[in-house]
Amino acid sequence: MQQPMLFLGGFYFPVKQLGAIVAGATAALIPVTLGLDALRQIMFSAPSIGLLSPEVELMILSVMSVIFVTASVFAVAKLEDLGRKYGKLTVKEQ
């Protein structure tokens, strides 16, 4: 799964070259896409190669980070509850 993520995430070339629909879907699924796109634009001083402007990408990444941190807090709390209930970290019977 690493190579498809690197390919679609924009590690090898600007994600804008994949087309608007694929680039938008990739940016929604793989957060590193937006970060790499913003870094590439800033480093080369070429906003024309980017999917969105670096400011917009930073705002999207900020919102995504709040969502992901909140979701991880709830996921860890759920795992702790399951651990207390079953005395193990998995529910699967062995």
The predicted model scores a pTM of 0.74
Q: Total domain count for the chain?
A: 1
So what's the pLDDT on residue 55?
A: 92
Residue 13 three-state SS: coil
Instruction: Identify the H or E element spanning 33.
Output: helix 32-44
Residue 94 falls inside a structural domain = no
Residue 92, in any domain of the structure? no
Supply the pLDDT for residue 65.
93
Instruction: Return the pLDDT at 16.
Output: 85
pLDDT tens per residue, range 37-62? 888 888 888 877 888 889 999 999 99
Evaluate whether 33 touches 9 at the Cβ level (below 8 Å): yes
The reply to whether 43 falls in a domain is: yes
Looking at every residue in the chain, the average pLDDT score rounds to 87
> What residues in the chain have per-residue pLDDT under 50?
none
Domain encompassing residue 73: 2-86
Assess contact for 16 and 23: CB atoms under 8 A: yes
- Residue 91 falls within a domain, yes or no? no
Can you spell out the DSSP letters for 77-90? HHHHHHHHHHSSS-
- Asked whether residue 53 is domain-assigned, the answer is yes
Structure tokens, 90: 């998995």
